[in-house]
Amino acid sequence: MIDVLTFGETMAALRAEGPLILGGTLNLSVAGAESNVAIGLARLGHRVRWAGLTGADEFGRLVTRTLRAEDVDVSRAGTTDAGPTGVVVFEPRLADLTRVGYCRSGSAGSRVSAAHLAPALAEGARIVHVTGITSALGEQPRRAVESAVRTAAAAGSLVCLDVNYRARLWSREEAALTLRPLVRDVGVLVASEDELALAAPESAGTEQARVDALLAAGVHEVVIKRGASGAEVFTADGSASLPAQQVSVRDTVGAGDAFVAGYLSALLDGEPPQGRLHRAVCTGAFAVASYGDWEGLPARHELPLLRAEPGSALR
């Protein structure tokens, strides 16, 4: 059985070397929250399947070629003529601040449906990973996420939901209305401090009240990402926390996805909560210390590199 099944929109990623208004070079790669997680897990040695949709174009072929090269199973991915592969543009503006723009309206990724996902779900997975981003792309992908979460939970898969709120895609009110009903089938919920309220009941007014309400609703683990302060996980048995790994920050884009990949990897390996957080903050550190959404994610044997002295050369 596949360890992790995920889906969502993966786009062609254009990275500028400076302000777009000045022109210049754009580097081409791919990017998408779910495929970032898939690549991170594959590099850590897990069997991962990505079942998204791309356009029948060269950008779409780049997406599937890249994922295949990273040992991600794309046998249940699809192409469609109904829309092009989306494009995301990254524009650096300050040392560690990046402006992100999208060309994804009507894209192939926004055409994903429950029918498209059914074969991949029928084949099963230990974990099915979804994000709030896919639900924000339109009514059809929202229904696809709802169906996938219900189907996976009914089949005995652990469902992981990363809230991953994107203000440019929908309002907080829209996000809450969509994500709160999913919670009843979610086993692992991941959110930043400001995202937690989008999954918890509106009546819960504090972080602890939100955590308690989510655990009472059936969520097994509530994982809160606290950025540079680290992360904390809450379960029915208590909580565990861990500070972030201290590294030189180059690019924060994709750090949350790297964190999720590390957390799910350790969960699959049977690590306790503290061990899950440790691997999660390690993979997050690799992400922020490297350029790109996923390019700097570590292989399993590279995790100990964080213990090396800064500025050292391994000879």
8 Å CB contact between 86 and 108: yes
Report, in angstroms and rounded to the nearest whole number, the Rg of the chain calculated over CA atoms.
18
Transcribe 63-89 into DSSP letters. HHHHHHHTT-B-TT-EEESSSPPPEEE
Catalytic residue status for 257: yes
Tokens of 197: 């309220």
Q: Residue 89, class by beta-carbon neighbours within 10 Å (0-12 exposed, 13-18 middle, 19+ buried)? A: middle
| Residue 147 near residue 114, CB atoms below 8 Å | yes
Q: How far apart are CA 71 and CA 226, in angstroms?
A: 30
* C-beta separation of 41 from 265 below 8 A: yes
> Could you give the CA distance from residue 285 to residue 237 in angstroms, rounded to a whole number?
28
Q: Count Cβ atoms within 10 A of the Cβ of residue 266 and give its class: 0-12 exposed, 13-18 middle, 19 or more buried.
A: buried
Catalytic-labelled residue, pool 162, 251, 257, 293 = 257
Residues marked active site are found at: 257
